[in-house]
Amino acid sequence: MTKMLIIGPPGSGKGTQAERISGRLSIVAISTGDIFRANVKDGTPLGVEAKKYMEAGDFVPDSVTNKMVRDRLAETDVEDGFLLDGYPRTTEQVDYLDQILARGDQKLDFVLQLTADDEELVARLLGRAKKTGRSDDNEAVIRYRLDLYHEQTEGVVAQYAERGILTQIDGIGQIDEVTERVMQSFRETHVA
């Protein structure tokens, strides 16, 4: 039963790689972005609150995010493992996730950080915005989100590095190449 986390800046390919990795490892991928969008679409109280922050390009506050993730990790499809995408983003969220997992006498096995150059990410996200019509992806919002990512996740990366479960992988390249880099690193840590 593998419990892992994938982190990386917006546009680094987290969602794509999360789907591929979860398929290969037969574990469920849990994207906080998907959780947010589902709550917004359904008009839940947490979704209404989250929408305000998402539209401004801000991260949804820990209090809202933690509740959504806690509820999702209580579902039965995560019993055989999971891959979290986009959570935790802050050191406070790391502590909260530790508490959730500790209740089931569990902990994370592997933390994957996708790395990429900010200018490459801006170009990727602007291209995606044109293709998908995502209103939350314009250059000013993208750069703001990248700055927030760097500011907030530095401590998260440091915590998982101290625990010896962090692996950094270059997220630039063909999708298959990045997936193979990830899976090779995963096999080398003999987690699989």
Binding residues for ATP: 11-16, 128, 173
Q: Taking Cα atoms as reference points, which of 67, 65, 109, 57 lies closest to residue 86?
A: 65
Q: Which residues belong to the annotated binding site?
A: 11-16, 32, 37, 58-60, 86-89, 93, 128, 134, 145, 173
Helix (H, G, I), strand (E, B) or coil at 81: strand
Residues annotated as part of the active site:
14, 89, 128, 134, 145
Angle between helices 175-188 and 14-25 (to 10 degrees): 50
Q: Which residues belong to the annotated binding site for AMP?
A: 32, 37, 58-60, 86-89, 93, 134, 145
Q: Strands 110-115 and 81-85: what pairing?
A: unpaired
